[in-house]
Amino acid sequence: MDATPAIRLTGLRKRYGTGEAAVDALKGVDMTVAPGEVVGLIGPSGSGKSTLLKCLGAVIEPTAGRIELSGETIYDSEDGGWRAGDLRTLRRDRIGFVFQAPYLIPFLDVTDNVALLPMLAGVGNAAARQRALELLTALDVAHRAGAQVSQLSGGEQQRVAIARALANHAPVILADEPTAPLDSERALTVVRILNQMAVQYQTAIIVVTHDEKIIPTFRRIYQIRDGKTHEEAGEGREI
């Protein structure tokens, strides 16, 4: 494993509410993911998966523990909480999201859907579109670069969503059930793409899933049960 993990969680806890109504959704989560690695995060409903993703994505504040991205502490409950000055910038530049639905912007063409985040981050329009085109090429959808989102198939839209998640060269991508609506072949294609992109861009990708079709592909899995993670080896089946 690379000397500096892309992501390291230490003793992460999250309590919702207070007093008798308090719910301990995360009870001390440890997780380490290397650049270029794809790991599965698997657990039954109510086990804390969404809470963990929201903490990782700086959408909600943990109650205790530490989060490091690429060796930099971004949250430490014992040292003032969030260390990043601006959480929106953190989310925009350092964490990419892929969801079950692509959530593309219908009034932008494919290229601009991917180029938008780099543009918002201050990359010039031409350079942002160039970067978008490179990603669309890597994902085999460059021929749709000028198309409207509504003209794309579901699989093409999901590839554009992956390109968008990669567009800011975020060291971490969080993928929440990215294959749930897809048939077996398309689901495996998405996982193959995620693995290729992880290696090519040295991105760490955490895939939250229930999808039995893709679980055998992970080399490493974090099971989450009752707010605690248990690391195990996956089958790592070739796709």
- Find the length of the chain: 239
d(CA 2, CA 34) in angstroms, rounded, equals 6
What tokens appear for 15 in the block? 């309590």
Strand 204-208 relative to strand 172-176, pairing: parallel
- The long-range contacts involving 27-30, CB below 8 angstroms and separated by at least 24 positions, are 27/226, 27/227, 27/228, 28/65, 28/227, 28/228, 29/65, 29/224, 29/227, 29/228, 29/229, 30/229
Residues forming contacts to ligand ADP in the complex (CB under 6 A) are 16-17, 23, 25, 43, 45-51
75-103 burial code (b ≥16 CB/10 A, e <16): bbbeeeebebeeeeebbbbbbbbbebebe
Task: Report which DSSP code applies to 1.
Answer: -
List phi, psi (to 5°) of 194.
-60, -40
Write out the DSSP string of 83-112.
-SS-HHHHHHHHEEEE-SS----TTSBHHH
Whole-number Cα distances in Å, 191 to 35, 39, 179, 194? 16, 11, 8, 5
Is the CB of residue 110 less than 8 Å from the CB of residue 149?
Answer: yes
